Amino acid sequence: MNDYKEKILKICNETSKNTLMETLEIDYIDVGEDFLLAKMPVTTKVHQPDGVLHGGAMVALAESVGSAASYIFLDASKFFVRGIEISANHVKSVKDGFVYAKAVILHKGRTTQLWEIKITNEADELISLCKLTTIALPRS
């Protein structure tokens, strides 16, 4: 299982090169049977003007992790995945350190999937609760 886990994380991190995920420095760090976990540094480049983590950066993190999880848990050779709806409730501010996004599947349908993504700080306090709906479209 450990070799499989390392392989999945390596693929997730390699496919992030030259994308928004690389720009935000998102690093996929753990995967299990029903979740994917990533971390992102909180620096001035992801701050809003008043010096705290921008909500849009959190939403980008959540959609990135949820979409990557969809690829892991679906047959990516048969489907491509797109996010079709995302919502976020930001409940706490962060100025520095890291935030962690854990995507857990709530519904795995043949066409749509529903993900809950909790973003926490280094003290494991909830920062944002996101819900992402993805759609799996057949490759032609």
Q: Is 6 among the residues known to form the active site?
A: no
CATH of the domain at 30: 3.10.129.10
What percent of the chain is predicted at pLDDT more than 90?
Answer: 82
Sign of CA dihedral 71, 23, 44, 57: negative
- To the nearest 10 degrees (0 to 180), the angle between helices 55-73 and 2-14 is 130
Give the pLDDT of residue 1. 58
Q: pLDDT by residue (tens digit) across 96-133?
A: 999 999 999 999 998 999 999 999 999 999 999 999 99
Of 120, 116, 6, 134, nearest in space to 70 by CA: 134
- Active-site residue, selected from the candidate residues 14, 63, 85, 122: 63
Cβ atoms of residues 8 and 69 within 8 Å: no
Structural domain tally of the chain?
A: 1
- 103, 116 contact by CB (below 8 A): yes
- Domain boundaries, position 77: 1-138
